[in-house]
């Protein structure tokens, strides 16, 4: 387990666009950023890119569309750090309907990750900023 008093931020979809820029901005504040991406190679590349910019980063696989992957991510975070200070739900899930490729209202699995972390690991991972 990494021992540090610094904040740890998990950013879903943190490998590109707003997610990666958010990781940069948090990293500039001294926060360890963890880009959570469904493709572990893309997460690792994002972490390497952040580290090449002098920022602290790590990678983790988080598939926001797969509920069982949430549990796996929580376990990894707990094993590595014992806590989580910041969760940024940046990744979205685009569900296609059976007759079109348009947005289907009411289907968004992104926000369930926070509930998984809270309910399964509330005694081990703190969602509130630490100390």
In order of their start, the domains of the chain are 8-121 (3.40.50.720)
Whether the CB-CB separation of 57 and 32 falls below 8 Å is answered with yes
pTM of the full structure: 0.73
Report the alpha-carbon distance of residue 64 to residue 14 in Å, rounded: 12
What's the pLDDT tens digit per position in 9-65? 999 899 999 999 999 999 999 999 999 988 999 999 999 999 999 999 999 998 887
When pLDDT is cut at 50, 70 and 90, the band that residue 124 belongs to is: very low
Structure tokens at 92: 């979205």
């Amino acid at each position: 387990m990494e021992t540090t008093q610094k904040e740890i931020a998990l950013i879903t979809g943190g490998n590109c666009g707003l997610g990666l820029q958010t990781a940069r901005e948090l990293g500039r504040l001294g926060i360890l950023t963890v880009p959570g991406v469904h493709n572990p190679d893309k997460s690792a590349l994002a972490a390497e890119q952040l580290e090449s910019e002098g920022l602290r980063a790590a990678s983790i696989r988080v598939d926001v569309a797969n509920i069982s992957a949430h549990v796996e991510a929580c376990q990894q975070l707990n094993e590595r750090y014992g806590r989580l200070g910041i969760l940024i739900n940046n990744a979205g899930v685009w569900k296609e309907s059976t007759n079109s490729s348009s947005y289907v209202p009411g289907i968004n699995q992104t926000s369930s990750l926070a509930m998984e972390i809270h309910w399964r690991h509330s005694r081990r991972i703190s969602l509130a900023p630490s100390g």
